[in-house]
Structure 1
Amino acid sequence: MAIIRRLLSLLPRPLLRRAVALTSVALLIAAASVVSAGTAQPAAALDNGLALTPQMGFNDWNAYGCDVSESLIKSTAQAMHTNGMQAAGYEYVNIDDCWMTHSRDSAGRLVPDPAKFPDGIKGTADYVHSLGLKLGIYEDAGTATCAGYPGSLGHETTDAQTFASWGVDYLKYDNCNNNGVPAQTRYTAMRDALAATSRPILYSLCNWGQDNVWTWGANVGNSWRTTGDISANFASMLSIFHSNVGLASYAGPGHWNDPDMLEVGNGSMTATESRSHFSLWAEMAAPLIAGTNIPQASADTLATLTNSRVIAVDQDPLGKQGTLVSSAGGLDVLAKPLAGGDVSVVLFNETGSTATISTTAAAIGKTGASSYALTDLWSGATSSTSGTISASVPAHGTVMYRVAGGTSGGTDVTGELRAVGADKCLDVPNSSTAAGTQVQIWSCTGGTNQRWTHSTSNQLTVYSGSSQMCLDAYDNQTAPGTKVVTWPCNGQRNQQWTLNSNGTITGVQSGLCLDVTGAATADGTLAELWTCNGGSNQKWTLA
């Protein structure tokens, strides 16, 4: 009884009232497993063999909201089967919220709404499977879904078994009405319940980017939402791109950052903006989940969604998420290494006017050739360059190239980060591991507090293991004079740094240079961000 009392004291009040009202020993046992999971070490990492490349498919929510039905899912599946989407790689036809009744049956099982799904989810799945496609479904890691239907918190085993018995292939698991139960506890419980069914069910975590999910998601799901919901406009897409692009180090085969579904063909997104949206999601190795009316999609929308050259970048088996090479004044360059040595490059114009965006083969990690082949992934045109990669890019537009030739595939570089002007090392004072410690220059000692690693995801890290910290522009500030500190690595743009060929180090978010304050040379002089001016106090070597 002491254990039960302890469990009840830990439960949030709404869940406690429900437990008491049900007076169910089974529910208390389930609560015991939930609470203990929150304090124990996570179970074995997810290894279900799924999503070795980012998942591709359809979800009804963006276009239809709660107006989901068996006929809608079947007609969408049929359209995907015949309009080229299935052939292009789209595999999952996913049902979102509002598919069930408001009450479970007498055995505690979820019940498909018979008016919406007269053949049940099983009958719908059978039809989708007959076309060579797979069926996905939606549930919530809380007591109720976002639309108020029964959630799976406390019912994980029953619901996972139900989904498996229906032939479900994909679970999108939302985050509403979670009663304050820790996210890892709730999402891990369903992970283990899905695994126990022995049916391969792709597991998509939808906790809106909360709790730094990218730092633990790979052990729990095949993908995890990194942000809140997307809307069908350029501003929303742009905001989500900025939030997701810095998280490349957390993604890879079987586990992907998910910046939410595609709005291609929806709302106020123009054809140019939709191509940018699709290009950026492919470059970031994001799941490609179409969210438009597929049976009535325009030829332009289908042409965007089925561009095989861009899809190949997203589905590249190397499994690297593209990273920002440079970002200044709303003109962005991203590079994504591909299997076989090619590199995908995106030139993205965030601004409202046409602009020329340029980079170089060396900047994207290509070396060793006098000429590189360029393929424009939207037009299909081919050209060559001796090193410069440049294009005039329309407002809100994107030019996307595949670059071949030479060698590529940079590696992490570790060593002392030496300030050229002072001939001293970038140093964490007193070997501190406290978050927010402002870095300085100091006579080089060879200590671990002076050994920095520049990673292929553009982070500068110090220390290792659980003590690892990232060089960070304090509080996401972008003004000259911003402090440069150590902070737990979170993948955000204020922790991304570009090592330039002229010896400068620029912050990806700010475009400012890593600077020794006042060009001083004394031990203890602090580092900061400052407008790039070519001074020796802004030149660094890493070796």
Structure 2
Amino acid sequence: MSVFSRFTGRLAGVGRLALAATLAAPVVALTVGAPPAAALENGLALTPQMGFNDWNAYGCAVSESLIKSTALAMHDNGMQAAGYAYVNIDDCWMTSARDSAGRLVPDPAKFPDGISGTAAYVHSLGLKLGIYEDGGTATCAGYPGSLGHETTDANTFAAWGVDYLKYDNCNNQGVSARTRYTAMRDALAATGRPILFSLCNWGEESVWTWGAPVGNSWRTTGDISASFASMVSTFHGNAGLAPYAGPGHWNDPDMLEIGNNGMSPTENRSEFSLWAEMAAPLLAGTDIAGASAETLNVLTNRNVIAVDQDSLGRQGTLVSSVNGLDVLAKPLANGDVSVVLFNETGSAATISTTAAAIGKTGASAYTLTDLWSGGTSSTTGDISASVEAHGVVMYRVSGGATGAAPSGGVHALGAGSCLDVPNFATTQGTQVEIWTCNSGPNQIWTRTPSGQLTVYSGDSTRCLDAYDNRTAPGTKVEIWPCNGGENQRWTFNADGTVTGAQSGLCLDVTGAETANGTAVELWTCNGGGNQQWSLG
């Protein structure tokens, strides 16, 4: 262990993150990966926003009549009653040039009553209106952007009665997203009108590390499409970012594709369940006025919506992910835990976990409520179901006590600690260790679909790696730039062990020690407590 590690371990009352910042070690890495700041103080999105956006179903074919008919349908078909509040206009709503005063102009053919007239109608139904703009010189479809016009445009939106701004990232002239999005945040705040601010910079620049005081939500991935493969990829891109989400500031894995004919009914239920479990914004992107009963039944499942809208505001995390069989857990405000068993594979499979693994303890029996069928059952601790291909089973688990929410870390169960990169290092070859869980960026690991475990983000991304491709017991486990090697692939097994794909050996806390700073290595699998791990 380094002098820095020994020094920090002896300081009382000073967190490692704070001390590292004080000593100014890798300042850039700490700035990029620090835990999120306080949420944007506009009082909005205390639970994830719910509503409609026209882009997925209509593209540039937006109009006043479409927005009004959608709002009326939401008012009448149960969506508004289920919690959907925003009716959002996407790109292509404006003319190709500003007016003589430099203001944006609604296309008079598409919006004969203007945005203010459309907003008045939407408001008359008890709903709210959202609009789209871009933080560059032009929108993604080529219409005038807001870069350099933030104050004028914010004042225009406020005067029109806009309640929500989706702010895109095209044609940004190389100006950092943080600079551009902060400028619009300040302009919106200066209007005095509450306007929910949705950052749409596609997950670039590690937006989750700085987005909380800037916007109410931020896109964590590229654009989704109406296919199961796209949905799964988007899910994995968002699932590891739970520590950055909370009331007023949410990870956004993009709009829902439910009802757009690219996925089966089973896959639609999976998307809705996963988005709710991840406390994601629920923005329907389909033809609402013409939606089928099946589509509306998914979009208005109040048991699942209650998980998304839970006031505790925790994003669910992966408890385990083995060969396309995933378990996610989300603690809820009343002490229950929502559990999703997700089968990514093409065949039905049994997926299992336990009450202890999801943070439940202290009861002789737990009640499981199936949030899709409504049925209930009880268990003494095992949670298991046969899950159809591409499907989910989603339970609300009640009874007993609920421990601390998962932190997004890899937990060493025997030591009660987390897998940790010492001193927030990014240097290749740094051996990993265990340390008291603190949700620091050096403890947040993301499991990729190919079986890698990554830490940090952007240019600093590192993979968990078996040193020098070695396969002998005692091999150092370290961080290294990701290269796709077999020595960087890991399997989370049902018995709690984590094995290296190349070696078949188990991830092991050296000597079964429990002290902070104990090194992690590969060792012959033996079932010991120092080889038991959980993800999430």
Give yes or no for TM over 0.5. yes
| Structure 1 counterpart SS, 2:283 | strand
The reply on whether 1:515 has 2:498 as its aligned counterpart is: no
| Structure 2 counterpart SS, 1:475 | strand
**Aligned pair partner of 1:204 in 198, 203, 206:** 198
Report if the CA contact (8 A) 2:227-2:262 is conserved. yes
- The aligned counterpart of 1:57 is 51
Q: Which structure ranks higher in relative contact order (CA pairs < 8 Å, sequence separation ≥ 6)?
A: 2
Aligned ranges 1:12-411 → 2 under 5 Å:
46-410=40-404
Aligned length: 468
CA positional deviation for 1:434: 4.2
Distance in 2 (CA, whole Å) between partners of 1:235 and 1:427 is 32
Report if the CA contact (8 A) 1:170-1:204 is conserved. yes
CA positional deviation for 1:332: 0.3
Distance in 1 (CA, whole Å) between partners of 2:177 and 2:136 is 10
Distance in 1 (CA, whole Å) between partners of 2:404 and 2:493 is 14
Report if the CA contact (8 A) 1:54-1:285 is conserved. yes
Distance in 1 (CA, whole Å) between partners of 2:115 and 2:392 is 40
Rate the CA distance shift 1:394–1:166 in 2: closer, same or farther, 3 A. same
Percent identity over paired residues: 74
Q: Match of 1:515, as an amino acid?
A: D
CA positional deviation for 1:475: 3.1
Task: Give the TM-score taking structure 1 as reference length.
Answer: 0.78
- The aligned counterpart of 1:485 is 478
CA positional deviation for 1:46: 1.9
Report if the CA contact (8 A) 2:39-2:247 is conserved. no
Task: Give the TM-score taking structure 2 as reference length.
Answer: 0.79
| Structure 1 counterpart SS, 2:357 | coil
Rate the CA distance shift 1:99–1:300 in 2: closer, same or farther, 3 A. same
CA positional deviation for 1:436: 3.1
- The aligned counterpart of 2:428 is 436
| Structure 2 counterpart SS, 1:217 | coil
Distance in 2 (CA, whole Å) between partners of 1:379 and 1:126 is 39
- Deviations 1:416-458 (Å, cap 9, x if unpaired)? x99999xxx99978x6834434216xxxxxxxxx661335799
Q: Match of 2:508, as an amino acid?
A: D
Report if the CA contact (8 A) 2:370-2:394 is conserved. yes
- The aligned counterpart of 1:29 is none
| Structure 2 counterpart SS, 1:135 | strand
Distance in 1 (CA, whole Å) between partners of 2:173 and 2:125 is 40
- Deviations 1:84-116 (Å, cap 9, x if unpaired)? 000000000000000000000000000000000
Which runs of no fewer than 5 residues in structure 2 stay unpaired? 1-35, 446-454, 482-486
Distance in 1 (CA, whole Å) between partners of 2:374 and 2:441 is 30
Distance in 2 (CA, whole Å) between partners of 1:495 and 1:457 is 22
Distance in 1 (CA, whole Å) between partners of 2:488 and 2:85 is 35
- Deviations 1:206-264 (Å, cap 9, x if unpaired)? 00000000000001000000000000000000000001000000000000000000000
Distance in 2 (CA, whole Å) between partners of 1:346 and 1:381 is 15
Q: Match of 1:514, as an amino acid?
A: L
The reply on whether 1:475 has 2:463 as its aligned counterpart is: yes
Q: Which has the larger radius of gyration?
A: 1
Distance in 1 (CA, whole Å) between partners of 2:184 and 2:260 is 32
The reply on whether 1:453 has 2:441 as its aligned counterpart is: no
| Structure 1 counterpart SS, 2:338 | strand
Report if the CA contact (8 A) 1:474-1:483 is conserved. no
Q: Match of 1:433, as an amino acid?
A: A
Q: Match of 2:108, as an amino acid?
A: P
CA positional deviation for 1:485: 3.4
Distance in 2 (CA, whole Å) between partners of 1:458 and 1:385 is 36
Q: Match of 1:308, as an amino acid?
A: R
Distance in 1 (CA, whole Å) between partners of 2:255 and 2:354 is 32
Aligned ranges 1:414-425 → 2 under 5 Å:
none
- Deviations 1:22-59 (Å, cap 9, x if unpaired)? xxxxxxxxxxxxxxxxxxxx999620000000000000
Report if the CA contact (8 A) 2:421-2:442 is conserved. no
Rate the CA distance shift 1:177–1:272 in 2: closer, same or farther, 3 A. same
Distance in 2 (CA, whole Å) between partners of 1:235 and 1:288 is 19
Which runs of no fewer than 5 residues in structure 1 stay unpaired? 1-41, 441-449, 463-468, 489-493
Report if the CA contact (8 A) 2:412-2:434 is conserved. no
Aligned ranges 1:486-501 → 2 under 5 Å:
none
Report if the CA contact (8 A) 2:463-2:480 is conserved. no
